[in-house]
Amino acid sequence: MIALLLATRALAWPTDDAAWVPLTQSGADIVDVYNDHDRAGVGAPDGIDCVGDTTNAWPALYWWTDGTELFLRVRVDETPWLVDETALLPDDWSFLFETDGNVDDWEYVVAATGVSPTLYAYTNDTGDGDGSGDDGVAATPDSLINFWDETYIRAALTGSEGGSTSNIHTIDDWFVDVRIELAELPAIEFYGDTFRVAFVSGNTSTPIGADADLCGTDDSTALGALPAAWSDAIGVDQDDDGLTDLEEDAIGSDKTDADSDDDGVSDTDEVRIAGSSPILCDTDGDGLTDGQELGVIEPLDDTDTSAGCFEADGDSGDTTTLPTEVDTDSGTVSDGLEDRDQDGVWDTWETNPNDGSDDLDTDGDGIADALEDLCGGTDPTDRDGDGIPDSEEGFADTDGDGTPDFCEEDDDDDGVTTDEELGEDGTSGTDSDADGIPDYQDPDSDGNGVDDGDEPTGDSDSDCDGILDRNDLDDADGECADPDGDGVTNADEDICGSNPENPDTDGDGIGDAEESCEDDVDCDGLPDRLDANTDAEGCNDPVDTAGAPSGVCTGPLCGGHYTGGSCSTGGGTASILGALVAGALVTRRRRRGGRFAASAGVVVGALSLLPGDARAEDAAVNAQRFHPAFENDTFLSVHDTHARPPGLGGGLVFNYAAAPLEYRYDDDRMPLQLLSSAASFDLGVSWAAPHFALTLDMPLHVVDGAQIDSQFAPGDLRVSALGEIADRTRGGLGLGVYGDVALPTGNGEAWVGSGSPELGAGVAFSWGKAVVLAGNIGLQVASPAELDDLSWGSRVQWGAGVDVPVGPMLALIAELEGESAIATTDTVGSSPIEWRAGAKAHLTRNLVASAGFGTGLTLGIGAPEYRVTAGLGWSPARKEARLSHGPDRDGDGIGDAQDLCPDQPEDKNGVADDDGCPDAGLVPTHLVVTDTEGKKLAGASIELTSGPETGRWAVPDGDFTRSFAPGEYQVKARAPHYLPQNSSFVIPDAPRHEKVIQLDAAPVGGMVIVSVQNEVGQPIAALVTILGEGRKFTTGADGTGAEPVPAGQVELSVWAENYRPKRVSVDVAKDQKASVNVILEPSRVVVLADRVDIRDKVFFDLDSAVITAVSYPILDDVAATLENHAELRLVEVQGHTDDQGAEDYNQDLSQRRAEAVRKYLIAQGVEPDRLVARGYGETQPLQPGTSADARDVNRRVMFKILAGPSGDERPLDARPPKKGPRGGRGRE
């Protein structure tokens, strides 16, 4: 009957062992040792022995709950049944409960007893917590709460419900389970609180016999203390939200918080009703909280409103959506976008989140058709017709009137429609006052405190500056404005040079309107409006004429200094530059420094009559101080020690200087621009020979200034020379000398010519092949021109520059240069300095273009406000790419991308030094492999089998260039899918040579079968490479492999670890199979931990770095080994000699031999960046002594691994110090 009852209640128990949760102490599973229950040795049954260990994850106690029932489990060592599934042992299994926080006693007990299985529940009412009386584990139960029949108890072998079977002692363990209907134990507060559990067994059927095993304590000598047996606190439903603590643990919610995500919806409602997440306040991520979507208007007691997740529903739940669906109405617009302000209310300018039909957006502008229809209008893409697409305006409400901008003609409600406030090009980005708000959204576009609608309407532009008043930040700065109210417009004041903000510019008590800007009643060079000291006696006043008292300076060039225009605030003109380049460049118009309107000729004529004027007739100064560097291709004006290629060249350079010469007054008057602009054209002719260049520079200027009319003026003719002493392109520091002669052919009165010849000389330094640094220092000797306190004569000149390539045809340039007058170094204007930045681009082999921009840095004469340069140069031997750019594996300063012979360094002998090929005794030869129609064949290879030079080279692109000695050669050419060809040709003694080799196409379609064995007939798993194609395949363990190949003769390379590579040829017919047997010999090359060891020597011609043909096979083996050991990332090719001969000679010979071996390996296909060559001379002998045997051993080539598979980098050996010369040449 008990078994039947157990079966009928089986569904009430946890369905499998995995559902049970271990009870823990301090977070660790509760465990108990075996056989600590029978302390008295009376033979207490093992069925009441609580056991458990952590080694096998077999906890002693478990629990589980479904919210209505509580289930408890204990692991015991043997069966608790007296009669299987009928009668329990006459003992008890008691589960104690602690609910008040006092761990010294228990409050409730639920005990299973036998023989007839019964479950009892008692209270312990009299425990006082003082450790006596009814305290402790053995306290006597006081009141019976309830009891249940055998259906509330079960016992089963461990593992019988899907878990693991435990056997802590020697036999399988058992579980004893009890279940408690929570409603039948109202005395225990299972909801909204926590409790602790302990287990104790007794060797009696009386509940809480407590004389056997207190689980979790060592009872071997005495029953353990109760405080040590309690589990960690557990709860059925601590937050009383309807979800059990176990459920909340599983989903990650807070079991002490009924609203874990603080969205106003209880965890149980989210899980059991809404299906939303109790830990995400916006489950579907649509921008609306779950509470809003469910219509929640008040938070729960556990809702933390400060967490930011609770938003009360704005319409009290009238409009609800699904918190688990991004788009409740499936209308393609998410709920959060339909409720744009996310207040839970369906507003006027929002679509219904429960009606998918109103989501339609025909024109795709982000605004539903239903909302656009509310606006009206005829253009679906611009409903308000204001010129801004609806997609750009969107739902913004600039003026806050409740109507979105896409439906308003005047977005900012300033009285000016939006389309009127758009930019001239129809864009919406115009922001007149630069406040970050475009005009059409800014009611006060110009930020003057007056709304646009209150400004003069229409196209009003009260100050004639071309800016409408509503957009004009200054309504008084235009030509027709008169901010000082003196009756003279800004335009007239600008022409005259008077102050538009002062009605009496010269402060003489007479308003500007009453004084003339053209009359000069006292003949002092200043118009009356600007002259505070006009007198009534006119030009006959002895103070103003040649009869002036001695030592008194009069005229406009008094009371100041001659300077450059750097940092100038004086006026300028755009007339010259505008005439030259049709308005493409326009100088900045200055407000207050313009020259007055009187005739310049009259002014100059008057000045010539003034004896006190500081400018004498012989004070000629060339203020246009920029001189192009025609002799080099590197810089704009700085001298490079390396001249352009030999031959005749030249160029034309234009430069425009703004305000290179001014007269700057000591008072607050604006500077007088003596040379307000100079546009110069320098025509240069340059002749260069190796290490020398001669240049003629012929300048022509177009000038304008305060005392000169705009005019053409010649400049000083300049002849210069450059001599190179040390060539920087060969490495190290470049050194050169330069000199020049300037003839006084320029117009001194126009400030572009010296009054006497000038001689200059200096020293130039430079460094670098790709990036070039240069510096100049020199002296310019000239007769002084006296300008007030400035003596402009002999000067120290200097310059510095950097040239940085950014591509094979382009370089960026930066320069800094200046000079200082020796006689008056501390005078204002004596030391001009200016900087420039620019670029040079090689357009063709012969043409180079340049451009630059710079400004003056000091007030020295000739330092302009700014300078712009542009030029075009030509030379007869321009190399295709002057700059070394990218990798340069032969180290000749010409990048591989531009180097015709990237594996042979240019010999720099003055003959075609820009092509990268040596030509001293050699002929740069272009070898081309094509098909019969002239198409270059990719993947080709060329082998010179006899002639002055032999070797084999891969030709990936079908052609390559290399310098060879003249003579007759035998050549073998191959290419994938083409028949190899053997032929001969002659390289003549000529500057260049080209040889085209045509190959016939091979028949296609066949199969090659390769069988590989060693010398004793054992099969070998090998790697087979189809030469010419690079395609590879392997043979199997039986040594056999097959691969489809082109018909015709096929060359194969066969290699296996520890075997020498072998090349074989096989003829393959179309649609046929061809077999070849290959026998591999043991390798003479072995890869060791630190080196690639060769079991042979590399031989060279006597006293030479030429490899003899007998050594080709061993080097081929090395190349094959490196090719098949890609993990050897860097190998040092070492050359060593014996001790015969001079040490320096042996060092050089070993270096050349190492380089020769490296080049051979590269020609066989080894990547160049995996090899480095280094000669050690006689410094590292393997065998000491001077015997013939010792010297033979010491003459060797070795291959050291510098970077292997582990990634460790081995440093290069330090080259040992030289011992000094010993004399003679060795025999190597």
- Give residue limits of the domains in the chain: 2-228, 482-555, 622-874, 886-916, 923-938+945-995, 1006-1079, 1085-1203
User: What percent of the chain lies above the pLDDT cut of 90?
Assistant: 35
Question: What average pLDDT does this structure show over 635-651?
Answer: 89
- Tokens representing 911 are 């003959």
Q: Is the pLDDT of residue 601 over 60?
A: no
Residue pair 818/831 in contact by the 8 Å Cβ criterion: yes
CATH of domain 923-938+945-995: 2.60.40
Which of the four pLDDT bands, split at 50, 70 and 90, describes residue 1004?
low
Whether 923-938+945-995 shares its CATH topology with 1006-1079 is answered yes
**CATH number assigned to the domain with residue range 1006-1079, chosen from the 4 options 3.20.190.10, 2.60.120.10, 2.60.40.1120, 3.40.718.10:** 2.60.40.1120
Looking at residue 191, its pLDDT comes to: 77
Looking at residue 524, its pLDDT comes to: 62
Residue pair 241/191 in contact by the 8 Å Cβ criterion: no
Question: What average pLDDT does this structure show over 668-694?
Answer: 91
pLDDT tens profile 152-161? 999 989 887 7
Q: Is the pLDDT of residue 11 over 70?
A: no
Which of the four pLDDT bands, split at 50, 70 and 90, describes residue 886?
low
Looking at residue 525, its pLDDT comes to: 62
Task: Tell me 274's DSSP state.
Answer: I
Q: Is the pLDDT of residue 545 over 50?
A: no
Question: What average pLDDT does this structure show over 1050-1057?
Answer: 89
- Tokens representing 930 are 């094509």
Q: Is the pLDDT of residue 698 over 90?
A: yes
Give the C-alpha separation, 374 to 383, whole Å: 10
Which of the four pLDDT bands, split at 50, 70 and 90, describes residue 1174?
very high
Average of per-residue pLDDT values in the chain:
82
Question: What average pLDDT does this structure show over 232-252?
Answer: 86
Looking at residue 457, its pLDDT comes to: 62
Looking at residue 169, its pLDDT comes to: 84
Which of the four pLDDT bands, split at 50, 70 and 90, describes residue 1064?
very high
Give the C-alpha separation, 1114 to 52, whole Å: 72
Q: Is the pLDDT of residue 884 over 80?
A: no
The whole-model pTM stands at 0.39
Q: Is the pLDDT of residue 602 over 70?
A: no
Looking at residue 466, its pLDDT comes to: 66
Which of the four pLDDT bands, split at 50, 70 and 90, describes residue 1223?
very low
Query: Which range among 39-48, 485-494, 742-751 has the greatest average pLDDT?
Result: 742-751
Closest CA to 1054 of 1027, 1025, 1028: 1025
Which of the four pLDDT bands, split at 50, 70 and 90, describes residue 1001?
confident
Structural fold of domain 1085-1203: 60s Ribosomal Protein L30; Chain: A; (3.30.1330)
Question: What average pLDDT does this structure show over 866-870?
Answer: 96
List the single range of 112-116, 388-392, 1168-1172 with lowest mean pLDDT. 388-392
Q: Is the pLDDT of residue 1159 over 50?
A: yes
443 residue type, one letter: P
List the single range of 189-198, 601-610, 700-709, 1197-1206 with lowest mean pLDDT. 601-610
Give the C-alpha separation, 1023 to 706, whole Å: 87
pLDDT tens profile 309-365? 998 888 877 889 999 998 888 888 888 888 888 888 888 888 889 888 888 888 888
How far, rounded to the nearest angstrom, does the alpha carbon of residue 302 sit from its chain's CA centroid?
Answer: 49
Which of the four pLDDT bands, split at 50, 70 and 90, describes residue 193?
confident
Which of the four pLDDT bands, split at 50, 70 and 90, describes residue 520?
low
Q: Give the HSE-up count for residue 914: Cα atoms under 13 Å, Cβ half-sphere.
A: 16
Looking at residue 141, its pLDDT comes to: 84
List the single range of 119-123, 229-233, 554-558, 798-802 with lowest mean pLDDT. 554-558
Work out whether strand 1006-1013 and strand 1073-1079 pair parallel, antiparallel, or are unpaired: parallel
Looking at residue 879, its pLDDT comes to: 43
Which strand (E) or helix (H) includes residue 419?
helix 418-421
pLDDT tens profile 798-852? 999 999 988 767 899 999 999 999 998 888 899 999 999 999 998 887 889 999 9
Residue pair 187/108 in contact by the 8 Å Cβ criterion: yes
1198 residue type, one letter: M
- Tokens representing 444 are 């006060």
Looking at residue 838, its pLDDT comes to: 96
CATH of domain 622-874: 2.40.160.40
Residue pair 344/313 in contact by the 8 Å Cβ criterion: yes
Burial (0-12, 13-18, 19+ Cβ within 10 Å), 565: buried
How far, rounded to the nearest angstrom, does the alpha carbon of residue 892 sit from its chain's CA centroid?
Answer: 32
Give the C-alpha separation, 427 to 408, whole Å: 17
Give the C-alpha separation, 708 to 691, whole Å: 44
pLDDT tens profile 1100-1122? 988 899 999 889 989 988 998 99
SS3 content of the chain, % helix, strand, coil (to 5): 15, 30, 55
Q: Is the pLDDT of residue 396 over 90?
A: no
Looking at residue 607, its pLDDT comes to: 30
Which of the four pLDDT bands, split at 50, 70 and 90, describes residue 556?
confident
Torsion on CA atoms 247, 253, 258, 261, rounded to nearest 10: -150
Give the C-alpha separation, 213 to 1163, whole Å: 86
Looking at residue 885, its pLDDT comes to: 53
80 residue type, one letter: P
Give the C-alpha separation, 203 to 85, whole Å: 20
Looking at residue 347, its pLDDT comes to: 80
